[in-house]
């Protein structure tokens, strides 16, 4: 019996089992899910379109590293709906095969972003960094082929998944390391307030066009929570604007604002209205 037949949702994510994206999926949906690892963000989209997965976990922003640009670029190209947002507190753990102590470790392997986020801690511990393609992949490969004096940095879920001992927790240099995810699906989500709405728009190349578009939100007291610009790939020196704001597209002020934006913009796409993540 497949997960679909047993009503257990399948959630696609990018990375190996034990990745932070899988941890986010399990924390958002609970333990009663199946997960589908994908090599790329595009594979997540393809899994949703083919029906191999019902949901996709797409990281879109990190509080330290900023916007995940390839993820946002996919949102313009494919017709999916944001089901929810989820914010994961990223905790980097130092892990090694059973029997290894912290004093045994001289080398640590992980994705370069994780190593960078733990740089001060690693320097204090006197550990030499080894760049690896993926955090969970580093944990998996170390468990399958232990190396002398070598540990990995990955999630606690990766340690549990691959049978590694956690030697140190919260290795990150900054304790405000959060990643924001969009939960993607093919259908519209049921409404649960408080809600947020995400849109993509382009403006005409005239003075005040963006000001006029965003003014439709301000005039109705709608709080904008994010704005990001990206170059249009088919028109040099023209830009797409990704905008998040509070409220649901069914709300009258939001509906009026979207109609007003449409009058000023040359293109508008609503990515979805969805339950806002708890802070």
Does residue 267 carry a catalytic annotation? no
Among 74, 103, 119, 102, residue whose Cα is nearest residue 230? 74
Task: Report the alpha-carbon distance of residue 95 to residue 160 in Å, rounded.
Answer: 10
8 DSSP 8-state letter: P
Alpha helices in the chain (DSSP H): 20-29, 41-50, 69-77, 112-117, 119-125, 135-144, 156-162, 209-218, 252-264
Q: Among the options 181, 182, 197, 245, which is catalytic?
A: 181
Tokens of 145: 């082929």
Q: How far is CA 233 from the centre of its chain?
A: 23
Q: Do the beta carbons of residue 226 and residue 70 sit within 8 Å?
A: no
Q: How far is CA 191 from the centre of its chain?
A: 21
Q: What is the largest CA-CA distance in the chain?
A: 66
Task: Report the alpha-carbon distance of residue 91 to residue 23 in Å, rounded.
Answer: 11
Q: Among the options 100, 150, 161, 179, which is catalytic?
A: 179
Task: Report the alpha-carbon distance of residue 161 to residue 243 in Å, rounded.
Answer: 37
Among 39, 148, 30, 151, residue whose Cα is nearest residue 92? 151
Q: Which residues pair with 165 in a beta bridge?
A: 96
Does residue 181 carry a catalytic annotation? yes
Catalytic residues: 179, 181
């Amino acid at each position: 019996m497949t997960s679909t037949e047993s009503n257990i949702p399948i959630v696609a994510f990018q990375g190996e089992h034990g990745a932070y994206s899988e941890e986010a999926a399990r924390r958002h949906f609970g333990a009663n899910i199946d997960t589908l690892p994908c090599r790329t963000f595009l594979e997540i989209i393809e899994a949703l379109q083919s029906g191999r997965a019902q949901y996709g976990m797409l990281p879109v922003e990190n509080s330290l590293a900023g916007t995940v640009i390839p993820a946002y670029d996919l949102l313009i190209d494919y017709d999916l709906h944001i089901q929810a947002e989820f914010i994961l507190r990223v905790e980097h753990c130092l892990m090694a095969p059973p029997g290894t102590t912290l004093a045994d470790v001289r080398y640590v392997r992980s994705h370069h972003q994780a190593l960078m986020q733990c740089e001060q801690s690693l320097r204090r511990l006197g550990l030499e960094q080894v760049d690896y393609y993926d955090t969970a992949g580093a944990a998996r490969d170390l468990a399958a082929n232990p190396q002398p004096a070598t540990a990995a940095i990955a999630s606690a879920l990766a340690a549990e998944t691959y049978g590694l001992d956690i030697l140190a927790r919260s290795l990150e240099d900054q304790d405000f390391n959060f990643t924001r995810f969009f939960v993607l699906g093919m259908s519209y989500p049921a409404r649960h307030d408080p809600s947020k709405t995400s849109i993509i728009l382009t403006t005409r190349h005239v003075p005040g066009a963006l000001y006029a578009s965003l003014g439709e939100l301000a005039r109705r007291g709608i709080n904008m929570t994010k704005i990001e610009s990206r170059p249009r790939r088919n028109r040099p020196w023209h830009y797409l604007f990704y905008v998040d704001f509070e409220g649901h597209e069914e709300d009258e002020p939001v509906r009026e604002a979207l109609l007003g934006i449409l009058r000023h913009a040359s293109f508008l796409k609503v990515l979805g209205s969805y339950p806002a993540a708890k802070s």
